[in-house]
Structure 1
Amino acid sequence: MIRFIAIRLAEGVVTLLLSSLLIFGALYLAPGDPLAYLIGNRTLSPEAIAALREHYHLDDPFFTRWFSWLGDVLSGQFGQSITYRDDVSNLLGPRLITTTSLVAYSMVVIVVVGIGLGIVAALARRAVSDVILGLTSVGVAVPSFVAAAVLIFTFSVTLRWFPTFGSGEGVADRLYHLTLPVLALTLASGSYVIRVTRAALREEAARDHVRSAVARGLPRRTIITKHILRNGLTPVATVVGLTLTSLVVGSVVVERAFALDGIGSLLTEAVAKKDFAVVQAVSLVLITVIVVVVLAVDVLQVVIDPRVRNRFGIEA
């Protein structure tokens, strides 16, 4: 088990290094000069421009800047934003709270509603199952930015039930403000979890040990809880874990649509203005979260599924 985790950790570190290299390269290839956004409409002397380029290390060689940035990151320094004239770490702190709240709220909705409706769709009568399956077919096909526009128009502009922007203050107000963004973010992912849960439980219900339990006359509740749910929800746990990565990525679009002060909206602004330090820091945070989630899912599979342990030759 320790060897398996060590290998996955090494793969994660390599992924982060390669990702940071690609992010640096993409920013360098993008058109435009970040210094133009810093200067604005002002007219500066060549000496002043040269001083600014030297201050922000804009003329340093690519690999020199990359290695320098990696060293700063390992020491907890993400550089300085040329747009906000502030340390990137100061910008990330408050915005991480908003994004974390949005993703955590979304995960609760997916676990409770997604798995719950999936169980209902798998065990209820065919008419109920078909209705849920039909609704999920629509949900999976709707992109988050389309869902955000429809939700804003319906529940904010027309019905005035929810605010159109902002993340609120305090726990209750924050939950109220984040409800529509969460619905937009979880529509596709939640629908997918429902379909996966339904398929996994139906497949488990058709296995021989379940049929044997039915033939022995065991109570339906016992069959469902001990034979179907216990084994059938194992692959669902993996899917739910991987869904977290799609929520982190999708939050970039949803935060922009609802004007939330999260790291997603910060990233889009930084990309538009070629704010190197901010783009690099936010991208690194997002990729790190994805790598950690994938690692956790891999370890979870090994712990709960003996077949995975046998495949990798891992002892329990």
Structure 2
Amino acid sequence: MRRFLLRRLLGAVVTLLIASIVVYLCVYLSPGSPEQVLFGSRPPSPEVQAQVREYLGLDQSPVLRYLTWLGHVLSGDLGTSLITQQPVSSRIADPALVTLSLVAYAAVLIVLLGVGSGLLAALRPGPVDAGVTTLTSVATAVPAFVAAGVLISVFAVQLGWFPAYGQGDGVVGWWHGLTLPAVALAILASGLVSRVTRASARQELASEHVETARMRGISGGRLLRSHVLHNAAPSVVTVIGLQVAGLVAGAVVVEQAFGLNGLGGLLISSVQQKDFPVVQAIALVVVGAFVLLNLLADLVVMALDPRARVVAR
């Protein structure tokens, strides 16, 4: 177990490092420069430009600038925004809260809708199973941006039940405003989780140990909890972990569609403005969340399945 955690943590560090390098190179090699954003169409004198470049560290070589940033990150400092001169940690705090709230809301919907519909299909063969299978097939074919457009048109514009833009005010308004974005983000993932849950539960229901339990007089909820869900859980938890981890990156499109002030909008504007520290910090947050959620999913699977603990040794 300890060796497994060390391997995964080392892999997480290497992944974050590679991600920061790739993001830095992509932003650095893209057209334009921070000076064009800072100075606009009427740049100041060459002396002022040189002073600004030196103050912001833009006179350093790309490699030295990256290594300087990496050293600051390792000491807990994400740097300073080139555009607003705010600490990057303060710059991304509020957008990160919006994105993480959206992902958490969508994750709850994925678990409830995906696992619930999958179990319903597995336990009710026939018309119910066929109906759920059809709906999940449609759900897995609907991208988040298409779902966002349909939800806005129907539930925000025509019915007026939810806001079409922004998060809303207050605690209730906040979560009310995040409902449609969370549903748009969760539809495709819920379909995938439902299909995996159905297949895993069906496999367990047809297994010998479940038949033996039935012969011993175990039935109903106890049979479902102890003999079906417990054994089907590892594969379901694995796919949930992968889908929820992918929501962090997928939230960018949904945030843009609903006008949420999350990391997605900040990332796009920062890329356009060549704000290197902000772009790199957001990349670290997204990749770090992906790695962390996958690690948590692996730990849950190990806790549920003794075979996984043997493999991890």
**TM-score after normalising by structure 2:** 0.95
- The amino acid that maps onto 1:201 is A
- The amino acid that maps onto 1:90 is S
**Over residues 156-193 of structure 1, what are the superposed CA-to-partner deviations in whole Å (9 max), with x where a residue is unaligned?**
22222211111123221111100110011001111111
**How far is 1:15 from its partner?**
1.2
**Match for residue 31 of structure 1?**
31
**Match for residue 203 of structure 1?**
203
Equivalent runs, 1:217-256 vs 2, <5 Å: 217-256=217-256
CA contact (8 A) 2:78 2:277 kept: yes
Equivalent runs, 1:70-109 vs 2, <5 Å: 70-109=70-109
- The amino acid that maps onto 1:85 is Q
Equivalent runs, 1:4-19 vs 2, <5 Å: 4-19=4-19
- The amino acid that maps onto 1:174 is W
**How far is 1:216 from its partner?**
4.1
**Match for residue 175 of structure 2?**
175
Matched residue SS, 1:253: helix
**Over residues 22-70 of structure 1, what are the superposed CA-to-partner deviations in whole Å (9 max), with x where a residue is unaligned?**
1111111111112111122333111222222222222312221111101
- Give the total of aligned pairs: 313
**Over residues 202-244 of structure 1, what are the superposed CA-to-partner deviations in whole Å (9 max), with x where a residue is unaligned?**
1111111112233444334332222112211222122212222
Would you say 1:126 and 2:133 are equivalent positions?
no
CA contact (8 A) 2:230 2:304 kept: no
**Match for residue 158 of structure 2?**
158
- The amino acid that maps onto 1:158 is Q
Distance 1:73 1:289 in 2: 16
**TM-score after normalising by structure 1:** 0.94
Equivalent runs, 1:34-45 vs 2, <5 Å: 34-45=34-45
- The amino acid that maps onto 1:46 is P
**How far is 1:287 from its partner?**
0.9
**How far is 1:119 from its partner?**
0.9
**Over residues 268-300 of structure 1, what are the superposed CA-to-partner deviations in whole Å (9 max), with x where a residue is unaligned?**
111122211110111111111111122222222
Would you say 1:274 and 2:274 are equivalent positions?
yes
Distance 1:295 1:224 in 2: 27
**How far is 1:266 from its partner?**
0.7
Distance 2:43 2:232 in 1: 67
Moved more, 206-215 or 272-281: 206-215
Matched residue SS, 1:141: coil
Distance 1:143 1:64 in 2: 41
- The amino acid that maps onto 2:98 is T
CA RMSD of aligned residues (A): 1.6
Would you say 1:193 and 2:193 are equivalent positions?
yes
Distance 1:126 1:96 in 2: 44
Moved more, 218-227 or 277-286: 218-227
**How far is 1:307 from its partner?**
1.5
CA contact (8 A) 2:233 2:304 kept: no
Identity of aligned residues (%): 44
Distance 1:206 1:88 in 2: 54
Runs of 5+ unmatched residues, structure 1:
none
- The amino acid that maps onto 2:193 is V
List structure 1 runs of 4+ shifted beyond 6 angstroms. none
